[in-house]
Structure 1
């Protein structure tokens, strides 16, 4: 109703055109912006364009000033340009002040007319604000505009409204007739004031910032951070752990895990394996949490001492549990030691296997496929050197890391314990997270299968010893393979193309491309989707957020399963059961930690945890009811609050820059073949199980539909009322609805696939079947209802993610790049776990000869084997290709040292060649000789090049690092990133020692690094001043053929 006020009137652009035609003399010179619509019916006027999306340059604004001087009017059809350009100040440092001058009548133009229409309802106008988001002044004359007696400002609206539907049209008239040179001079002076002469926080128009805001450390915190973190105090190069790093690392991991086993035994008591492998993840999380809290509240600095204190706390808690449950634990160990032995063997095999993979290609950088390793290593080293949390930012001197860094913190905790060189520890951390993920997947599905087997046996179900006695363990191993080892089906596609080339085209087979399989949604654009899967993630080896979060997502599922299974015991837990409350706290902390490790995982696993709590309450109360819902709501709230409170210091410091839900409409949709090429194996298994589970209901539904059709046909004949329809069961009616719904989806897909996407109807249909299967088990007395419904929750969550991504994406994403990347990893894990369990469930208790199977079942087995074989190609051929992908194709002996490639590597930069070994000599000198964590100045290059190598490999803070990463993490302050880059350029290029010293003091620089990179990127004349000592303020402390390092003297610093 409110929008009738918009659509019931003439479009704003038409009304603006009518005004200009009636008021502007014929032949007037009218300016519009390029990439923008034009108002209609201006045939009698001369139209010119302002090229404002072009990069800022002197020639651009010479043309702008000339056009402004020569024209009579400027027409803004919408906010398309002025709503976006000011949000990129580092690129448009002159265009932004141009708009500010124009809107405040300082370029000789005045707003003489505007047209705006907004939705209205009962005297209330709903206004979309177009000036606040780009931080522009409201044009003079619009300040007091109110389209209704009561106006609600709803902020910025979607482009479809502000640009097309009812744009705000502005018409400015040239009143003063200023000369071209006057206009250009005003724009240039404003540009210098805006970004050149003042730091971002000192600009006259910048809002005042109180201490602690703007993602900057206070002076006291900055001094504390720089005073600590001496490299030689942290890393013992000559210690035994660096001579035998694998052993030292394992001692730390297994020691922490052993201390946590008693706690895990109680938390996971409802599970058959008592959460043995989950205890490894739990132990790392608990120790890390205690150490992190001590450092965050600045009670105890991050050190071996704080870690020892945390270990004592965990050990004391475990000792209390052990004393109370000693007999039960010993009895369990005697009876089930073989399960624990298999579990430990699975973990160790996974860890050692990936240690070998990392040894075969340990390089922590690559000229064009270095990935995020430089950032990961820089942040890891910075966290390692930080005394308190939040850690200082190595790429923004004086600031702190505004990123989910907790995975790096846990890794740094292990490094602090072992004193292993981070370049080696990085390549031990990747196998660790791999093995923890393998262990989590194994444990979850083993417990699902074993608990199902026990419940079926106790219920007298048809399990008479046939089949594999160890089938639950086989299911667990299958889950570990499905989640972490198998690849998507692109491996088979690449092999098929190779065979085609050999057999049909008489060409070579070609080389397998490991990278291609992570980009399964061509073309780009649109989309730019990243379609990683866990094995690619671990094989590629970025110690990045999405990798480190995987074990903790599985831990949250494991605790969720324990909560559900505890509710199915004969003795129901009370509402205030201490162990139950403990489980809620632990699952809350686990899910809460995901916000600090990889925030993308947090919503999904929070919802699954809440669903597990709801399911548990359902089983406790035997159905739905008001009391059950209230209890579930209270427990869910308690769980979520616990997860927030334990990480409160992070939330108090972290800034997010996108308000609301942070989502917007998607740019494109997924083609069905792309989805099936990624998840086809899992969908085949899940679809098979669901169809098998619902086969009687579906057949009953089809029969009901046939009978209704026959009845309708007969109703048209003379004996229409001779028969009555027999009654049908409720499930038959439900099946009818399901079949009709699926048919509707099929018709929808046929007619709307071009807009809706072919994946949506398919996935929606499967989701309907999964929900029916889950609800049917939930409402039945079947023995495996808890496990079945829990798996249905996981599958439903995954399918809902797939559906959602064809309608929405995360705000500010590059098309769907990261939205698909982050959420499809979650989809993979959830579907892989479910399909491993459901495959075991399909074969449980069955031992049938393949020769005796019916032809349809033989075809099904053949299809399953083909899919598994296709998914197995990538781990074999993809691994080989990845291991060959070395820096300059150099092959080093097996080693875990991620910096070994540097010894004989030459980087072919666009500006010239750089011998990396010369740089590394300087970097090593800084590690060995610098006390604390002072600021080091180094050159800045385009992102993903050799720039930032000092801060990356030492963790020492530099003035500014990789631009795009810093802009993302400091979005509202990103103009400072560009300013710092210009200041670094000035420091190196200027020949004025005083100017250089002023900037060095501003950023607290203690060391100046001049290597081959700086010699290639900055002027020789400017660099010469460092050798001259800047008037006695610099002392050269290191030099080799390519590198010089200078230290500022005490007086200068």
Structure 2
């Protein structure tokens, strides 16, 4: 029933937002119904954030319903002021019902999958659970950071606020809301991408049958949520011991070939060193998480894609942002489709201005990497609309006056978040390295690029030779400006010679290929810029997506990884954006080209590369799903802590007791994660060879309850707070907490807890493993035992009250 309650909460928010969606997307065939969910969520979450920051509503379930009431009021006012929207809603009723059907099928399908792997454990899932719990538990906003007691969260946590909203309204435990939040994100993104692709194809083919737009919508949904790396067929062949070494080496996946004696003698680690006989016992690879390698094809980078994200189950900002990213794409398409100038005068009726500011401000709040790319996409769409009516320079001026108020309000609306946010980014730098080889680029992005590139070349041929050459000349700046900027910047830093020397020949080929495809797409947009042909927006989307890939070959954003894997996060975040955009543009390009080509052979030729590679990309989920779920032969449940109830009932009881009895703002001390051992003199000493702190079980109580602890994962705190200078404070907190557990002086324990502003201290399995001393007698003499289950205990600092006896 938890899943049904969560689904009902999501559907209710979508229904409440329908009038607003109808205003923004009235030209969409479904009247924006497929986009009402992310629109409603961002408005309601923003309303709740403002209410909490302004201390208008307290913590608790009631505040979430006040936010929904505000969404309902805004929609009602919008419908009353714009009565014609009722006609849009009536016209688009079939589309709304279709959107509801798509969302429902996707939601419950993902719930079924996740019920086989529901545990919130491993990778960075404890961190994600931490922020979800913080949204629900924090007594004041901005919310606290449970892993750094006394400080506000310094992260883009708006996505967690979205999931917390649904969790609270549906009245389900956070450990269930986590998994249902993944299902919501999956279904909402799928519904949105289908809505956009259908709209673009329908605009392009108004007189054709519904078959073409429907095909585009289905293909877009598949490419976004089901397609994977083209390395999967090679993984299958390797698991079945079918090693064609020339083929593997051609694709640059030598590491799938088992190491031999020669590799051992030369120290070559670019080979498979795991267990070989057998690598699989089934028709699919049974090696543990073989599918992880599909996101590490390009060395020293992460090339994650949506199917992998939902397979893994990390509730990260870039994943939760998918519906909002697609909403931004839809807003760009709707802006381009609009009539008249997009200028300052357009904002005289402020509804669209305010909604755009809430959406794009929320995009920064949800995943800061996304806002620049997608705001630039929105501005480009406005410019393409304006050049239909004005000369380019005047169109550019109008676009600037239209965009500036949106950008300004997007910042103003979310100032309370900016005040507590500290970025780890320290600038943009020229990339110096080998670059991506074409084979790796093909394995990761070939499916998405093949359709859009082939169609761009075909579409340009439809125009006269003079018009095509003029467009190519005019659009040359699109790939050339970033390249020249890279050259000038590297030269200014004295690094140009090193940068040119470091890039391999194949690296230059990939760079050139990305640049040429981006150039072709930009040229296609230029040729049709003064028309309302939807090929313009499709080509524009494709050009921006390929430009993102092109940019990762030239620049990177400096962060904590800059010294050893500098472009890891840049490739990760920008290629993820490119995947989402191309999942819209590619399918639409294919169906439009097939429809407009006059002969079946030509249509087949245009569609074949994209469709064949799309089929090949489905091998990845076909192999990965049974591997991830043990062929779906597992006990099913949707509570992410059910595994804890089975494996460690005392820890589970501890979490539930804290949830029910400890105030949301309390500080609860738990093990820092440092390992101690008894020295030769039987005195505990720090063991540097102990287990890792980050990604381990330290901070487990705070992650599972949202209560604050003095220090959780220190490496992540350094990333979030953007400075190594915080290392001293982290060390101080670790020392204080360790001293509490190791002390044999009751007074020191009480003083230490008060110094940390802590009321509770946990003694469980982890604490007993990390600190090899008998701590209970000391705690019992100084503190009050308030919880006990097996060998797990919680102590509280005694509370003394002054009683007037006179």
Give TM class, smaller chain: 0.7 to 0.9
Q: Could you say which residue in structure 2 is the equivalent of 1:645?
A: 412
The residue correspondences of 1:252-651 to structure 2 (distance < 5 A) are 252-326=9-83, 328-329=84-85, 331-332=87-88, 335-365=91-121, 370-454=122-206, 457=207, 468-498=209-239, 501=242, 510=280, 511=285, 515-520=289-294, 527-567=299-339, 576-577=345-346, 581-619=350-388, 621-626=389-394, 628-651=395-418
Change beyond 3 A, Cα 1:489–1:387: same
8 Å CA contact 2:288, 2:627 repeated in 1: yes
1:1045 maps onto 2:786 in alignment:
no
Q: TM-score, normalised by structure 1?
A: 0.65
The residue correspondences of 1:862-1011 to structure 2 (distance < 5 A) are 863-884=609-630, 893-905=635-647, 916-941=648-673, 942-970=693-721, 971=723, 972-1011=725-764
Task: Find the aligned partners of 1:554 and 1:318 in 2 and give their Cα distance.
Answer: 21
Q: Could you say which residue in structure 2 is the equivalent of 1:245?
A: 2
Q: Could you say which residue in structure 1 is the equivalent of 2:545?
A: 798
8 Å CA contact 2:343, 2:398 repeated in 1: no
Q: Say which SS state the counterpart of residue 707 (structure 2) adopts.
A: coil
Q: CA deviation at 1:762?
A: 1.0
Task: Find the aligned partners of 2:606 and 2:392 in 1 and give their Cα distance.
Answer: 39
Change beyond 3 A, Cα 1:469–1:514: farther
Q: Say which SS state the counterpart of residue 893 (structure 1) adopts.
A: coil
8 Å CA contact 1:519, 1:531 repeated in 2: no
8 Å CA contact 1:940, 1:981 repeated in 2: yes
8 Å CA contact 1:1011, 1:1042 repeated in 2: yes
Q: CA deviation at 1:772?
A: 1.4
Task: Find the aligned partners of 2:17 and 2:296 in 1 and give their Cα distance.
Answer: 46
Change beyond 3 A, Cα 1:638–1:953: same
Q: Could you say which residue in structure 1 is the equivalent of 2:587?
A: 836
Q: CA deviation at 1:495?
A: 2.5
8 Å CA contact 1:291, 1:302 repeated in 2: no
Q: Say which SS state the counterpart of residue 778 (structure 1) adopts.
A: coil
Q: CA deviation at 1:917?
A: 2.4
Task: Find the aligned partners of 1:788 and 1:862 in 2 and give their Cα distance.
Answer: 20
Higher relative contact order (CA 8 A, sep 6+): 2
8 Å CA contact 2:153, 2:420 repeated in 1: no
Indicate the structure with greater helix content. Answer: 2
8 Å CA contact 2:514, 2:550 repeated in 1: yes
8 Å CA contact 2:130, 2:706 repeated in 1: yes
Task: Find the aligned partners of 2:63 and 2:473 in 1 and give their Cα distance.
Answer: 63
The residue correspondences of 1:145-224 to structure 2 (distance < 5 A) are none
8 Å CA contact 1:666, 1:805 repeated in 2: no
Q: CA deviation at 1:271?
A: 2.3
8 Å CA contact 2:219, 2:587 repeated in 1: yes
8 Å CA contact 1:264, 1:282 repeated in 2: yes
Task: Find the aligned partners of 2:560 and 2:148 in 1 and give their Cα distance.
Answer: 23
- Could you give the per-residue CA deviations for residues 489-545 of structure 1, whole angstroms, max 9, x where no partner exists? 122222233455399999767315684545457689xx5311110011111111111
Change beyond 3 A, Cα 1:503–1:932: closer
Q: Could you say which residue in structure 2 is the equivalent of 1:821?
A: 572
Q: Say which SS state the counterpart of residue 1005 (structure 1) adopts.
A: coil
Change beyond 3 A, Cα 1:925–1:731: closer
Task: Find the aligned partners of 2:611 and 2:459 in 1 and give their Cα distance.
Answer: 21
Change beyond 3 A, Cα 1:588–1:689: same
- Could you give the per-residue CA deviations for residues 622-671 of structure 1, whole angstroms, max 9, x where no partner exists? 44243x33221111111101111111111122223555x34453454211
- Could you give the per-residue CA deviations for residues 678-714 of structure 1, whole angstroms, max 9, x where no partner exists? 111121111210111122569x5xxxxxxxxxxxxxx
Q: Say which SS state the counterpart of residue 733 (structure 2) adopts.
A: helix
Task: Find the aligned partners of 1:751 and 1:292 in 2 and give their Cα distance.
Answer: 47
- Could you give the per-residue CA deviations for residues 179-201 of structure 1, whole angstroms, max 9, x where no partner exists? xxxxxxxxxxxxxxxxxxxxxxx
8 Å CA contact 1:512, 1:878 repeated in 2: no
Q: CA RMSD in A?
A: 3.2
Change beyond 3 A, Cα 1:731–1:899: closer
8 Å CA contact 1:520, 1:674 repeated in 2: no
Change beyond 3 A, Cα 1:738–1:557: closer
1:671 maps onto 2:437 in alignment:
yes
Q: CA deviation at 1:808?
A: 1.8
Task: Find the aligned partners of 1:752 and 1:984 in 2 and give their Cα distance.
Answer: 48
- Could you give the per-residue CA deviations for residues 45-99 of structure 1, whole angstroms, max 9, x where no partner exists? xxxxxxxxxxxxxxxxxxxxxxxxxxxxxxxxxxxxxxxxxxxxxxxxxxxxxxx
8 Å CA contact 1:292, 1:302 repeated in 2: no
Q: Say which SS state the counterpart of residue 315 (structure 1) adopts.
A: helix
Q: Could you say which residue in structure 2 is the equivalent of 1:36?
A: none
Change beyond 3 A, Cα 1:341–1:824: same
Unaligned runs of 5+ in 2: 246-257, 259-275, 484-498, 674-692
Change beyond 3 A, Cα 1:669–1:400: same
Task: Find the aligned partners of 2:277 and 2:660 in 1 and give their Cα distance.
Answer: 55
Aligned pair partner of 1:773 in 524, 539, 544: 524
8 Å CA contact 1:587, 1:609 repeated in 2: no
8 Å CA contact 1:589, 1:646 repeated in 2: yes
- Could you give the per-residue CA deviations for residues 984-1018 of structure 1, whole angstroms, max 9, x where no partner exists? 11111122333332221111111111112111111
Q: TM-score, normalised by structure 2?
A: 0.84
Which structure is larger by alpha-carbon Rg, 1 or 2? 1
Change beyond 3 A, Cα 1:754–1:998: farther
- Could you give the per-residue CA deviations for residues 421-459 of structure 1, whole angstroms, max 9, x where no partner exists? 0111111100101111111111111111112223xx4xx
8 Å CA contact 1:749, 1:758 repeated in 2: no
- Could you give the per-residue CA deviations for residues 235-280 of structure 1, whole angstroms, max 9, x where no partner exists? xxxxxxxxx1112112211111111111211121132221111111
Change beyond 3 A, Cα 1:522–1:951: closer
Q: Say which SS state the counterpart of residue 228 (structure 2) adopts.
A: coil
Task: Find the aligned partners of 1:375 and 1:522 in 2 and give their Cα distance.
Answer: 22
Change beyond 3 A, Cα 1:679–1:514: farther
Task: Find the aligned partners of 1:1002 and 1:437 in 2 and give their Cα distance.
Answer: 46
Q: Say which SS state the counterpart of residue 801 (structure 1) adopts.
A: helix
Q: CA deviation at 1:363?
A: 0.8
Change beyond 3 A, Cα 1:514–1:591: farther
Task: Find the aligned partners of 1:251 and 1:861 in 2 and give their Cα distance.
Answer: 39
Aligned pair partner of 1:1025 in 769, 773, 778: 778
Task: Find the aligned partners of 1:827 and 1:495 in 2 and give their Cα distance.
Answer: 27
Q: Say which SS state the counterpart of residue 758 (structure 1) adopts.
A: helix
8 Å CA contact 2:149, 2:711 repeated in 1: yes
8 Å CA contact 1:483, 1:534 repeated in 2: yes
8 Å CA contact 1:666, 1:806 repeated in 2: no
Q: Could you say which residue in structure 2 is the equivalent of 1:723?
A: none
Task: Find the aligned partners of 2:94 and 2:156 in 1 and give their Cα distance.
Answer: 39
